[in-house]
Every structure is written in C-alpha cells, then in structure tokens.
Structure 1
Amino acid sequence: MKIQLALDLLDEEQALNMVKMVGDNVDIIEIGTSLLKLAGVQIIEKIRSITPNKPIFVDMKIIDGPEREATLMANVKADYYSMLAVATDTAITKVLNIAQKHHAQVVFDMQSVTNYQERSLQLKNLGAQMICVHKNSDCGDSLNEAFKEFIDIKTITQLPIALAGGINLTTLPEIKTQLKPEVVIIGGTILKAEDPIATTKALRIIADS
C-alpha cells in the first residue's frame, strides 16, 4: 500500500521543509490545489530537486480547458494529476489521450458525483486507470459506511483506488486490512503532527506490514 503525502498548505517554505523531513518515507508527493495556486507549477521542480526519485501528484482537479491543462501537466512532467469525474466524456478522453502520450496517469476524483456506481463504470470504459474516493465524514466510526463508495467502486471497476479523508494512525490498520486500497492519501495527520518524521515512519510501518 502506497502513502501519498498531501501538501495541503498555504506556505511554500513549509511545504518544501515538510518534503525534506518526510519525503523519504512516503511513496508519492502531492501538491495540493491551494499550494499549486499559491506557488505555481514552479514548485514541482523545487520538490523534485529535494526528492528526485519520488513521483509527484498535482491536484489539478481538471474540468475546464482539458487540452490546455493536460498539456501544462505534460510540460512540467507531472507523474500523476487529478481530473474531476464530473467532467464531460469528451474532456476526459482528451486528457487521457495527452496523458498517455506523456506517460502520466490521470486520477479521477469522485467528488460531487451523484451516481458514483454508474459513473465509475463509465470512467473505466473511457480508459480511466485510477480513481480517488474521499471518505464520507457523516458516517461516524463505521468503516464500511464511511467507505461504502470505495467498496462499491472497487467491486464494479476492479481499478486501483486511492482513499482520502481523515486517515490516521488509528484508522490506517483497519483500512489496510479490510479495504486494501492501492494508495492512502494523508495530509493533516502528518502536517499537523508534533513530530512529522516519527508519525510518517509509524504510518510507513503500518503500510508495509
């Protein structure tokens, strides 16, 4: 199971320092949408210079201007980037075609999708290779209820799924055992920790066990 560090920050220096501290203990480094808007795509190269061997995910949330946005991601050599699953089929096809030519992977974010079962199958048929599901925070402590969307989508599509939303040292063991996601996206648990290095190492042990 891979750990994706979500740099959901509004401070470029803090983000780069976090990469220096914990980058070696995660698998993918995510540039959050707000950080991208603040720092610009130039931050990609700055992060790459710190951790040259780590794939970079750019949380673009593409929905408009698909060819332009996907071309931008090709120009900066993003390894992964996100597109909203509610985008049109035409836009999705355009982005997937550009990503394939440049050996990048598009991760489809299911936020705001109403009929997620139908849409996830449509995405697969369009050529999607990975989907991201966010935890429903209204479901309390029930893992199956909180991640029902994840379970259904994985069953329907058999695609690799990334999970996001409040994942921490307490919930990760159960998530790993019961849900077996390919990627867990973790932000605040690391970013807000008193000791980010120790916390990330502890998460790493769980992910690798």
Structure 2
Amino acid sequence: MKLQLALDRINLEDAKSIAKEAQAYIDIIEVGTSLIKDYGKKSVNFIKENFKDKVILADIKTCDEGEYEFKAAFEAGADIATVMGNAPLGTIEICYEVSRKYNKDIMIDLMETNEDRIEELKKLDDAIFFIHLPKDNKSGNLIDNFNKKSTVYKGIKRIALGGSVKEEMLGDILTINPEILVIGSAITKSNNIELAARKFKEAL
C-alpha cells in the first residue's frame, strides 16, 4: 500500500519542510487544491523540483477544461492529476486521454458521485478511483462511507482512500486494502511529523 501525504492550507516553504520530514516514509506527495489555488502551477513545479524521486499528485479537481488543466498539471511536473467523478463525462474522458498521452495517471475523485456514474466510469480500468470523505462532511466517517457503497466499488482495480484518516481506522483500511492511502493532518499537524509518518508506514 502506498502512502500519499496531502499538503493543504499551508505556504510552500512549510509544505517543503513537512514533506522533507516525512519523505522517508511516503510514496506520493500531494500538492493540495489550496496550494494550487494560492500559488498556481508553480506550486506543482516547486514540489517536483525539491522531491524529484517522489511521485507528485496535483489535486486540481478538474470539472471542465479537462485538456488544458491536465496538460498544465503534467507539464508542471505532476505524475498524477485529479478530476471530479461528477464532472461531465466528456471532461473525464478527455482527462483520461491526456493522461495516457503523457504516460501519467488520472485519479477520479468520487466525492458526490452517484452509483450510476461510478459504474459508467469503471470502463476506465487503469484510472485510480479516490473514495474521499469531504473536509466539510460533519457526519459519518471514511470507513462508514466506504461500507455504504462497497458493492458499487467491486471491480475497481485501483482504489485510493482518504479523508480524516486516524490510526484507529487502520485495521479497517487494511481489510479494504486500497492501492493508496491518503493522509493529511494526522501527519502534517503532528508534533513529530517524521514519527507520525513512520508509524503509519510501518502499520501498513
């Protein structure tokens, strides 16, 4: 299982510092949506230049302008870019084609994506499907949300899981066994970032 570190709601220098402390135990560095909104494409390039040996994900959450946004993310240094599962189907298909052209990965964020659309998207069988508890969600937790739709997720080859992940969830997460586990504040807001990242990596 790969560990993805989500960097959000901080400045670029703090993002670099946090990633450096955790880098021995993480596989993917996520340039979060807030960083991209605050600093633009240069945030992706900045993280890639400082962590050349890591996979870089640009969480651009594309909803439209798929070709333009995905090309921009990949040319800035991203290895993975995100598109929303509830975006127009044509947008998602364009993003998928751009990712194939650049020999990069697409992650489809399934937040607020209905079951019919998920079934439709399964044809993109080498895409990564991100099962995501929204930041503003005040009810339930990641595991409960997964279990509610577990049948519709069957047949998906590549799953990423994330959203308010805590240590006590790891038993359930290991049972689900996603390809990628996305962790943010449980590491980034820890008093000892390196230790927190190591504990998660060892547990996985």
- Correspondence 1:139 to 2:140: yes
Counterpart residue number, 2:151: 152
Question: CA separation in 2, counterparts of 1:149 and 1:108?
Answer: 19
CA deviations 1:157-181 (Å, max 9, x no partner) are: 33211111111222123311x2111
Counterpart residue number, 1:91: 91
Counterpart residue number, 2:191: 194
CA deviations 1:105-132 (Å, max 9, x no partner) are: 111111122x22x211211225562110
TM-score (norm 2): 0.90
Partner-residue secondary structure (3-state), 1:159: coil
Partner-residue secondary structure (3-state), 2:168: coil
Question: CA separation in 2, counterparts of 1:150 and 1:182?
Answer: 18
User: How far did 1:149 drift?
Assistant: 4.9
Q: Are the aligned partners of 1:10 and 1:38 in contact in 2 as well (CA < 8 Å)?
A: no
Q: Are the aligned partners of 2:48 and 2:78 in contact in 1 as well (CA < 8 Å)?
A: no
Structure 2, unmatched stretches of 5+, are none
Counterpart residue number, 2:161: 163
- Correspondence 1:181 to 2:191: no
Counterpart residue number, 2:102: 102
Counterpart residue number, 2:59: 59
Partner-residue secondary structure (3-state), 1:138: coil
User: How far did 1:46 drift?
Assistant: 2.2
Question: CA separation in 2, counterparts of 1:33 and 1:76?
Answer: 15
Letter in 2 for 1:164: G
User: How far did 1:150 drift?
Assistant: 5.7
TM-score (norm 1): 0.88
Counterpart residue number, 2:33: 33
User: How far did 1:48 drift?
Assistant: 2.1
User: How far did 1:137 drift?
Assistant: 5.5
Structure 1, unmatched stretches of 5+, are none
Matched pairs, number: 201
Counterpart residue number, 1:69: 69
Letter in 2 for 1:174: D
User: Identity of aligned pairs, percent?
Assistant: 27
Alignment RMSD (CA, Å): 1.9
